[in-house]
């Protein structure tokens, strides 16, 4: 039997997959530990920014990543599986996390399967470093970006980083760990990530005073009309989650909008939820609704690492990973969420969706220009502060 992808690190609590007899299964942390004694047949390998001379210039400081430059940081011949990416950046440019673009291409496809601003890929959609820990993504001190999504490829894997900013990146440090295999199971999907934003979302009123206003609270939206799209993809695969950052252009609670997921061409939601914070597995506005208590948390499958309050210019970051049961599709999927109840709000949304699918994939939406990606407050009317 060919060697198979395995997730050998106990760091992968709530891991995405275990491959056994060519079948994908969810894995618990306990099962993961029990599996550590099983001997593996792959060959470990790494692509690194390490100084090959034996010196300490590990970030290649003599060759900064200049504005407009694209650098290939991995070019691997397969078959294999990338199991971990660690990166950190030495840049003094503000919002460099929004101005550096990460791309990944599997098996010499003509278009990237990943094309995302660097910070957004690691969940940092507002261009600021926030420490948090989840199963597939984490940010550690100091400014350490980590990804544990398994990324299989049959013939090749190519990863690049492009500087779309105005200043040099003085140093770029990375370790990309992967497994070399003699062959891969035929039922392995390829990893994808899709970036989207709305600045602002298309709210239908600017004169509202509170989420509880009758004109807002009685509005109905059964079909997802006007919803913000997190992911749209065609083919066969499964959606495994999203990272979502919000900059409030309006006061009051942002999380009244429902999640609606449409599978295989459905015209009404296949899966529908009760509110945005509920989709991201929080509750009661993350703060007790009306209190000043502002807890933050980051768990393996969901989290709220940045909680900026309910007044205008509040900054939020949430995520949800469907590791226990990815949402499958055979022909298409559209993952959406309302911006406020029935889309009455006009905030700034920045999202990345993560999924696996068979190739070929639909070409990713074009990235907005750098200046549009950088978060900034937009005056859209509505309340400035939470009214209660």
pLDDT at residue 62, as a whole number: 72
Helices of type H across 185-264: 214-217
User: Comparing C-alpha atoms, which of 243, 238, 298 is closest to residue 13?
Assistant: 298
Q: Is it the case that residue 214 has pLDDT exceeding 50?
A: yes
Q: What is the mean pLDDT of the chain?
A: 90
pLDDT in tens, 115-168: 999 999 999 999 999 999 999 999 999 899 999 999 999 999 999 999 999 999
Q: Which domains are assigned to the chain?
A: 41-185 (2.60.120.1390), 191-373 (2.60.120.1390)
pLDDT digits (tens, 9 = 90+) for 77-104: 989 999 999 999 999 999 999 999 999 9
| pTM > 0.95: yes or no | no
- Interstrand relation of 190-198 and 114-117 (parallel, antiparallel or unpaired): parallel
User: Could you tell me the two tokens for 240?
Assistant: 């495994």
Higher model confidence: residue 179 or residue 294? Answer: 179
What percent of the chain is predicted at pLDDT more than 70? 90
State yes or no: pLDDT of 21 exceeds 70: no
pLDDT in the model for residue 5: 40
Identify the burial level of 218 via C-beta atoms within 10 angstroms of its C-beta, where 0-12 means exposed, 13-18 middle and 19 or more buried. exposed
Pairing state of beta strands 332-337 and 259-263? antiparallel
- Residue 25 has a pLDDT of 42
Q: Which residue is associated with the tokens 């996390």?
A: 97
- Distance between terminal CA atoms of the chain? 63
Half-sphere exposure (Cβ direction) of 182: Cα atoms closer than 13 Å: 5
Mean pLDDT for 103-110 is 97
- The per-residue pLDDT for 68 is 98
The C-alpha atoms of residue 47 and residue 64 are separated, in whole angstroms, by: 19
């Amino acid at each position: 039997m060919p060697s198979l992808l395995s997730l050998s690190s106990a760091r992968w609590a709530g891991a995405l997959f275990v491959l056994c007899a060519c079948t994908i299964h969810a894995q618990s942390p306990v099962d993961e530990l029990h599996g550590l004694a099983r001997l593996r047949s792959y060959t470990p390998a790494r692509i690194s920014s390490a100084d090959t001379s034996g010196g300490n210039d590990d970030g290649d400081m003599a060759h900064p990543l200049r504005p407009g430059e694209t650098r290939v940081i991995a070019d691997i011949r397969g078959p294999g599986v990338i199991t971990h990416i660690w990166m950190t950046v030495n840049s003094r440019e503000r919002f460099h996390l929004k101005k550096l673009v990460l791309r990944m291409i599997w098996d010499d496809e003509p278009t990237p399967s990943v094309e995302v601003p660097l910070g957004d890929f690691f969940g940092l959609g507002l261009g600021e470093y926030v420490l948090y820990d989840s199963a597939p993504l984490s940010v550690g001190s100091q400014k350490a970006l980590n990804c544990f999504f398994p990324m299989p490829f049959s013939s090749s894997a190519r990863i690049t980083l492009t500087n779309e900013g105005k200043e040099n990146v003085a140093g770029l440090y990375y370790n990309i760990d992967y497994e070399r295999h003699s062959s891969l199971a035929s039922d392995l999907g390829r990893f994808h990530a899709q970036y989207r934003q709305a600045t602002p979302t298309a709210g239908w009123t600017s004169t509202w005073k509170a989420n509880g206003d009758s004109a807002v609270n009685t509005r109905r939206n059964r079909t997802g009309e006007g919803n913000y799209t997190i992911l749209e993809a065609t083919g066969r695969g499964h959606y495994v989650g999203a990272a979502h950052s919000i900059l409030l252009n309006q006061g009051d609670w942002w999380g009244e909008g429902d999640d609606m997921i449409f599978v295989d061409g459905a015209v009404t939601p296949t899966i529908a939820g009760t509110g945005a914070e509920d989709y991201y597995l929080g509750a009661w506005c993350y703060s007790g609704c009306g209190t000043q208590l502002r807890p933050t948390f980051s768990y393996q499958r969901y989290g709220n690492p940045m909680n900026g309050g309910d007044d205008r210019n509040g900054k939020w970051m949430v995520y949800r990973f469907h590791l226990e049961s990815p949402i499958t599709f055979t022909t298409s999927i559209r993952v959406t969420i309302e911006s406020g109840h029935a889309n009455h709000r006009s905030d700034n949304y920045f999202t990345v969706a993560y999924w696996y699918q068979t190739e070929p994939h639909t070409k990713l939406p074009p990235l907005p220009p750098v200046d549009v990606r950088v978060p900034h407050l937009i005056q859209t009317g509505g309340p400035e502060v939470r009214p209660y």
